Amino acid sequence: MAVLDDIREKLIDGDMNGVKEGVNQALEQGVEPAKILNDALISGMTQVGQLFEDGEFFVPEMLVAARAMQAGVAILKPRLVEDDVKPIGRVIIGTVKGDLHDIGKNLVAMMLEGVGFEVVDLGTDVTPEKFTDALTEHEAQLLGMSALLTTTMPAMRAVIEKLKEAGLREKVKVMIGGAPVTQNYANEIGADIYAPDGPSAARKAKQAMG
Ligand code: B1M
């Protein structure tokens, strides 16, 4: 679809205004918000990652692409998240210590809101202490962690250990995700739920509430 190809190209170019215009145009043309998200924004960002891996893009290009993506997501958000949904539970979410990637975590947070969770977003570079403190403060039923770097994945295990130490492990379901994270890793560190993407995170989180 031409409009989606155009958004993807603008995102790769880091053209924030171009992405915004493209997203608005696609919505005017009646393209489903979820299709714009998956086939233009997420797909464009995947190409950015590939270009980085191939040595054609560097951190500044990734950063401007990320800003352009966030601007596009902000337009879609109200259409992806239903209003007036009764909370089905409370979730604490954050990107683990040492990791600054937040686009995927923000999407997951948005989708959790979309199925009716109240979301407390701790942001990025979240220490194990901050996760456990937030859990005590907000009495959440679910704790979500995101990691995009192989070097920051071990921080997920550290959070689970911290929960055990604080006597909180049995009180909360732990969900993890992020590009390098797998079901095997979730099993290894004793997380309850692994989700590969936003929609599955929302579905599995909802299921976990019983
Ligand atoms: Co970085 N980066 N980055 N980066 N970056 C990756 C992750 C990388 C794979 C690129 C590559 O080499 N191809 C690579 C990691 C290699 C590795 O560890 N295996 C990498 C690197 C190396 C780095 C730096 C070290 C680069 C440097 O400085 N030399 C540095 C680290 C900084 C730090 O965190 N300490 C760095 C920096 C950055 C930017 C700041 C420039 C920027 C982030 C901006 C931001 O987030 N605000 C950035 C970006 C944009 C990327 C790529 C290109 C895109 C990530 C993204 O947003 N994807 C990425 C390459 C890639 O992933 N293809 C890359 C789109 C997003 C929708 O997908 O985040 O996977 P994702 O989220 C998905 C699922 O994973 C899942 O659902 C989401 C929605 O479907 N999910 C969950 C995510 N969290 C979940 C939680 C859940 C459940 C599901 O439950 C709680």
pLDDT digits (tens, 9 = 90+) for 51-90: 998 999 998 998 899 899 999 999 998 888 765 556 889 9
Closest CA to 179 of 82, 52, 18, 32: 52
* 1-83 CATH fold: 1.10.1240
Domain chopping of the chain, boundaries: 1-83, 89-209
Helix segments in the chain, DSSP class H: 2-13, 16-28, 33-36, 43-53, 59-80, 103-114, 128-138, 154-165, 183-189, 198-208
ipTM over 0.90: yes
CB distance 166 to 91 below 8 Å:
no
Q: Residue holding tokens 């109240």?
A: 118
Task: Provide the 3-class DSSP secondary structure of residue 121.
Answer: strand
- The yes/no answer on whether domain 89-209 falls in CATH 1.10.150.110 is no
- In terms of DSSP bridges, do strands 89-95 and 117-121 run parallel, antiparallel, or are they unpaired? parallel
pLDDT top residue among 152 and 115:
152
Exposed, middle or buried by CB within 10 Å (0-12, 13-18, 19+), for 118? middle
| 145 bridge partner residues | 94, 176
Which of 62, 125, 127, 206 should be mutated for ligand 1, with most atoms under 8 A from CB? 62
Residues with CB under 6 A from ligand 1: 42, 45-46, 48-49, 52-53, 59, 62-63, 66, 93, 98-105, 107-108, 144-146, 148-151, 175-180, 195, 197-198, 201
pLDDT at 82: 65
What whole-number percentage of the chain has pLDDT above 70?
98
Give pTM, 2 decimals. 0.91
Which of 42, 69, 101, 153 should be mutated for ligand 1, with most atoms under 8 A from CB? 101
d(CA 179, CA 123): 17
- Most distant CA atoms of the chain, gap in Å: 54
pLDDT top residue among 149 and 59:
149
